[in-house]
Amino acid sequence: MSREIIFRGKSEVTNEWVYGSLVKVGNESHIVGFDEVDLDGHHLSYCSDRPIFTKQGTIGQFTGLHDKNGKEIYEGDILMCIGERNDNKGRKYYRKVLFNNGAFGMTVPEYKCISALCNHVVNGKLNWEVIGNIYDNPELIEQSL
Protein backbone atom coordinates (compact mmCIF):
# COMPACT_ATOMS: atom_id res chain seq x y z
CA MET A 1 0.00 0.00 0.00
CA SER A 2 1.50 3.32 -1.01
CA ARG A 3 -0.70 5.83 0.81
CA GLU A 4 -0.07 7.03 4.34
CA ILE A 5 -2.76 6.01 6.81
CA ILE A 6 -2.21 8.10 9.91
CA PHE A 7 -4.55 9.00 12.72
CA ARG A 8 -4.25 11.62 15.41
CA GLY A 9 -6.02 12.14 18.69
CA LYS A 10 -5.60 14.10 21.92
CA SER A 11 -4.00 12.23 24.81
CA GLU A 12 -6.20 12.01 27.92
CA VAL A 13 -3.04 12.28 30.03
CA THR A 14 -1.03 15.11 28.42
CA ASN A 15 -3.72 16.74 26.24
CA GLU A 16 -1.15 16.75 23.40
CA TRP A 17 -1.66 15.33 19.93
CA VAL A 18 -0.59 11.72 19.41
CA TYR A 19 0.02 10.55 15.83
CA GLY A 20 -0.01 6.88 14.92
CA SER A 21 -2.25 3.88 14.31
CA LEU A 22 -5.87 3.52 15.31
CA VAL A 23 -6.66 0.73 17.77
CA LYS A 24 -10.26 -0.19 18.64
CA VAL A 25 -10.87 -1.60 22.12
CA GLY A 26 -14.52 -2.39 22.70
CA ASN A 27 -16.48 0.80 22.04
CA GLU A 28 -13.44 3.04 22.33
CA SER A 29 -10.72 3.99 19.88
CA HIS A 30 -7.16 4.91 20.80
CA ILE A 31 -4.02 6.05 18.99
CA VAL A 32 -0.77 4.15 19.43
CA GLY A 33 2.19 6.33 18.45
CA PHE A 34 4.45 4.98 15.74
CA ASP A 35 7.50 5.40 17.96
CA GLU A 36 5.97 3.26 20.72
CA VAL A 37 5.76 -0.02 18.81
CA ASP A 38 8.51 -2.50 18.00
CA LEU A 39 8.41 -5.12 15.29
CA ASP A 40 10.56 -8.20 15.86
CA GLY A 41 9.86 -9.72 12.47
CA HIS A 42 6.81 -11.67 13.63
CA HIS A 43 5.08 -9.65 16.34
CA LEU A 44 4.20 -6.11 17.28
CA SER A 45 4.94 -5.16 20.85
CA TYR A 46 4.05 -2.01 22.73
CA CYS A 47 7.32 -0.69 24.15
CA SER A 48 6.34 2.38 26.14
CA ASP A 49 5.24 3.03 29.68
CA ARG A 50 3.07 5.92 28.49
CA PRO A 51 -0.68 5.24 28.53
CA ILE A 52 -2.36 5.24 25.14
CA PHE A 53 -5.75 6.54 26.25
CA THR A 54 -7.12 9.00 23.73
CA LYS A 55 -9.87 11.55 24.29
CA GLN A 56 -12.83 10.09 22.48
CA GLY A 57 -14.20 12.45 19.84
CA THR A 58 -10.79 13.97 19.02
CA ILE A 59 -9.61 11.21 16.68
CA GLY A 60 -9.23 12.12 13.02
CA GLN A 61 -7.57 10.60 9.99
CA PHE A 62 -4.95 12.15 7.71
CA THR A 63 -6.67 12.99 4.41
CA GLY A 64 -3.58 12.32 2.30
CA LEU A 65 -3.61 15.97 1.24
CA HIS A 66 -1.45 18.94 2.23
CA ASP A 67 -2.24 22.64 2.46
CA LYS A 68 -0.45 25.39 0.54
CA ASN A 69 2.41 25.29 3.10
CA GLY A 70 2.85 21.51 2.90
CA LYS A 71 1.12 20.86 6.23
CA GLU A 72 -0.86 17.62 6.54
CA ILE A 73 -4.65 18.02 6.57
CA TYR A 74 -6.66 15.94 9.08
CA GLU A 75 -10.33 15.46 9.83
CA GLY A 76 -11.37 18.23 12.21
CA ASP A 77 -8.95 20.79 10.77
CA ILE A 78 -10.13 24.28 9.87
CA LEU A 79 -8.93 25.62 6.52
CA MET A 80 -8.85 29.22 5.35
CA CYS A 81 -8.45 30.71 1.89
CA ILE A 82 -8.29 34.38 0.90
CA GLY A 83 -10.06 35.22 -2.34
CA GLU A 84 -7.89 36.44 -5.21
CA ARG A 85 -10.39 37.10 -8.00
CA ASN A 86 -11.83 40.56 -8.60
CA ASP A 87 -15.26 39.54 -7.27
CA ASN A 88 -13.93 38.12 -3.98
CA LYS A 89 -10.51 39.73 -3.56
CA GLY A 90 -9.46 39.76 0.10
CA ARG A 91 -12.51 37.82 1.34
CA LYS A 92 -11.68 35.07 3.84
CA TYR A 93 -13.29 31.66 3.41
CA TYR A 94 -13.31 29.10 6.26
CA ARG A 95 -13.96 25.37 5.91
CA LYS A 96 -14.13 22.46 8.35
CA VAL A 97 -12.63 19.16 7.14
CA LEU A 98 -14.74 16.04 7.70
CA PHE A 99 -15.37 12.53 6.45
CA ASN A 100 -18.72 12.23 4.68
CA ASN A 101 -20.26 9.51 2.49
CA GLY A 102 -16.98 7.62 2.09
CA ALA A 103 -14.79 10.60 1.24
CA PHE A 104 -13.06 13.55 2.87
CA GLY A 105 -14.98 16.76 2.44
CA MET A 106 -15.15 20.35 3.52
CA THR A 107 -18.12 22.38 4.67
CA VAL A 108 -19.31 25.12 2.33
CA PRO A 109 -21.48 27.32 4.56
CA GLU A 110 -22.37 29.74 1.76
CA TYR A 111 -24.25 26.93 -0.01
CA LYS A 112 -25.06 24.82 3.08
CA CYS A 113 -23.38 21.76 1.61
CA ILE A 114 -20.28 19.58 1.80
CA SER A 115 -17.84 19.51 -1.11
CA ALA A 116 -15.16 16.91 -1.88
CA LEU A 117 -11.89 18.07 -0.31
CA CYS A 118 -9.80 16.87 -3.26
CA ASN A 119 -11.67 19.30 -5.55
CA HIS A 120 -10.30 22.23 -3.52
CA VAL A 121 -6.99 21.08 -2.07
CA VAL A 122 -4.60 19.49 -4.53
CA ASN A 123 -1.46 19.18 -2.41
CA GLY A 124 -0.90 22.88 -1.98
CA LYS A 125 -1.69 23.96 -5.54
CA LEU A 126 -4.61 26.04 -4.29
CA ASN A 127 -4.57 28.66 -1.55
CA TRP A 128 -6.11 26.66 1.33
CA GLU A 129 -4.20 26.75 4.60
CA VAL A 130 -4.67 24.87 7.90
CA ILE A 131 -5.24 27.58 10.52
CA GLY A 132 -6.31 25.35 13.41
CA ASN A 133 -8.74 22.61 14.32
CA ILE A 134 -12.11 22.24 16.01
CA TYR A 135 -10.56 20.96 19.26
CA ASP A 136 -7.84 23.55 19.91
CA ASN A 137 -9.58 26.48 18.20
CA PRO A 138 -13.33 26.23 18.89
CA GLU A 139 -13.73 29.93 18.08
CA LEU A 140 -13.11 29.06 14.41
CA ILE A 141 -16.00 26.57 14.23
CA GLU A 142 -18.64 29.27 13.87
CA GLN A 143 -16.99 30.66 10.74
CA SER A 144 -16.74 27.23 9.09
CA LEU A 145 -20.35 26.13 9.55
pLDDT in tens, 37-82: 565 655 555 556 666 788 999 999 999 999 999 999 999 999 999 8
The domains located in the chain, with CATH, are 1-58 (no CATH), 63-144 (2.30.30.290)
Handedness of CA 131, 134, 140, 144 (dihedral sign): positive
Model confidence, pTM: 0.86
Q: What per-residue string of b and e applies to 2-33 under the rule 16 or more CB within 10 Å gives b?
A: eeeebbbbbbeeeeebbebebeeeeeebbbbb
Out of 1-5, 71-75, 87-91, the most confident range is 71-75
Give the residue-averaged pLDDT of 100-129: 87
